[in-house]
């Protein structure tokens, strides 16, 4: 779907490459302001009281990302713009494709939030879906890369929730 319209290309690039940074920022803000940590008399103490939730959120996301990159080197799957003639990506991406690190990280983040805050979790799941779909449309991942990332992210978040 890339290289058909300049406006659409810019939207795809935004969702695939810029939105991830915004989502991380929103996740941090959500956790800080949802619990009104900054309004507490002792913000550090309030943060420590919510340690399990913060631990689950950030540790599961980072662990998911690390696992994705380990698996990339085990599977060594080429990206669409390398494997298929005529596919041109909207931005440069290097390394192997499966599983998608972005999909893995953001699905782990989304489900980590979901396990504690259902309504907000749904919003972050939508963000993860948008990021993954945009990376397919940008020509840097196959659908299986994204689905594998979603599954890995969910499994790691679920594992950390139950530890």
C-alpha pair distances (Å), 47 with each of 39, 57, 112, 118, 140: 11, 13, 17, 20, 38
Chain centre distance of CA 42 = 32
| Residue bearing tokens 């790691």 | 156
Known catalytic residues?
Answer: 102, 141
Burial of residue 150 (number of CB atoms within 10 Å: 0-12, 13-18, 19+)? buried
Handedness of CA 148, 72, 143, 55 (dihedral sign): positive
Distance from C-alpha of 24 to C-alpha of 138, rounded to nearest angstrom: 21
């Amino acid at each position: 779907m890339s290289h058909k319209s300049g406006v659409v290309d810019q939207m795809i690039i935004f969702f695939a490459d810029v939105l991830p940074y915004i989502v991380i920022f929103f996740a941090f803000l959500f956790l800080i302001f949802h619990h009104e940590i900054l309004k507490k008399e002792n913000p550090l103490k309030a943060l420590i009281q919510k340690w399990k939730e913060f631990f689950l959120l950030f540790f599961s996301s980072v662990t998911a990302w690390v696992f994705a990159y380990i698996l990339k080197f085990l599977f060594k799957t080429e990206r669409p713009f390398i494997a298929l003639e005529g596919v041109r990506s909207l931005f440069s991406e290097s390394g192997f494709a499966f599983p998608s690190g972005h999909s893995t990280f953001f699905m782990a983040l989304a489900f980590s939030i979901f396990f504690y805050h259902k309504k907000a979790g749904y919003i972050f799941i939508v963000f993860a879906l948008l990021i993954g779909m945009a990376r397919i449309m940008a020509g840097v991942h196959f659908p299986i890369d994204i689905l594998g990332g979603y599954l890995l992210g969910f499994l790691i978040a679920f594992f950390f929730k139950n530890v």
